[in-house]
Copies of this chain bind each other. A is one copy, B any other.
Amino acid sequence: MDKTFSQWKKQCLSKVDLSKKGSVDEDIEHVVSLINSCEEYFTTSSCSGRIILVDAAPENSDVQKQNCIWLFVSHQNCTSDDMMSGLAKSSGDAVLKFEPFVLHVQCRRLEDAQLMHSVAINSGFRNSGLTVSKTGKIIMAVRSTHGLEVPLSHEGKLLVGHEYIHFLTQIANRKMEENLRRIHRFYHNLQSAVTTERLQKLQIPGPPSSQELQCSPNRVETEEEKNKISMYRRRRKREQHQTGCYHGDASTSVQEQDYCLDLFT
């Protein structure tokens, strides 16, 4: 199983990146490097987060449903002029979306995936979750509740004013900034968690393998990091409690809180 995992990792990391861009997004290069430097993990896909304006065929058209045109894409903050020039090209139903950081990580063992999942949840990526395939592949998907999806035009006709586009651009940019803050938290929490795991392994009789010390070899866990980790464990427990045994408007408290956090933090 471990052998299979290292084979998968070698094979995946040696492949050409088949994404449009062909490389990892700048804002998450350090995250992807940290993960791939750990023997327990490797990344299979990622996107740092983006503001995207897509033009889709109107519902009543015969055009194939998957046929979407990108009017504008940015992995950084953007201006309302960027939006307006994108919208000027719309001939269908244009929709502005903010798509947050997404990352797929293949994990060696279930406990490795649990650690990665806990770090993701506690960094604000509440929709993260595992996939366990029958062939033994364990993938942890880092996902946020943090989004924006705003229809703006119909059959090429803009349905809102410039003032609204300006307001919307500010909101999309704020979401992009919050997304970067969460990526930053994720990176530091992962670094702390991985270091803690390493230190725990060091307490087990027998010297660690060189691989076990691969992740940030010069780092020593600080008191602050230790406190952070225990705080995250407490928060995680609280979140699990919130979703326990509720039906009807079950997810209200969590969704409502997410919404507020998303829009304002």
Query: Is A218 an interface residue, CB under 8 A from the partner?
Result: no
Residues of B within 8 A of A147 (CB): 147, 149
* Contact A15–B131 (Cβ < 8 Å): no
Which residues of chain A in 216-265 are interfacial with respect to chain B, using CB atoms and an 8 Å cutoff? 240, 243-252, 255-257, 259-261, 263-265
A53 to chain B, nearest CB (A): 11
User: Is A40 an interface residue, CB under 8 A from the partner?
Assistant: no
| A246 vs chain B, min Cβ distance (A) | 4
Chain A residues 159 to 187 lying within 8 A of chain B, measured CB to CB, are 159-161, 163-164, 167-168, 171, 174
| Contact call A247/B130, Cβ cutoff below 8 A | no
Q: How many residues of A contact B (CB 8 A)?
A: 82
**Residue in chain B with minimal CB distance to A61:** B264
Are the CB atoms of B131 and A151 closer together than 8 Å?
no
A contact residues vs B (CB 8 Å cutoff) = 12, 15, 17-25, 32, 43-47, 50, 54, 56-57, 59, 65-68, 73, 93, 95, 97, 99, 102, 104, 110, 113-114, 117, 127-134, 141, 143, 147-151, 154, 159-161, 163-164, 167-168, 171, 174, 240, 243-252, 255-257, 259-261, 263-265
List the 6 closest A-B pairs by CB distance, nearest first: A129-B129, A21-B248, A19-B248, A45-B250, A130-B130, A45-B246
Chosen A-B contacts, 24 in total, with CB atoms closer than 8 Å, are A12-B245, A17-B245, A17-B247, A19-B246, A19-B247, A19-B249, A20-B252, A43-B247, A46-B250, A47-B250, A47-B251, A65-B261, A66-B256, A67-B260, A99-B255, A102-B251, A110-B132, A113-B132, A114-B133, A117-B131, A117-B132, A129-B131, A129-B143, A148-B151
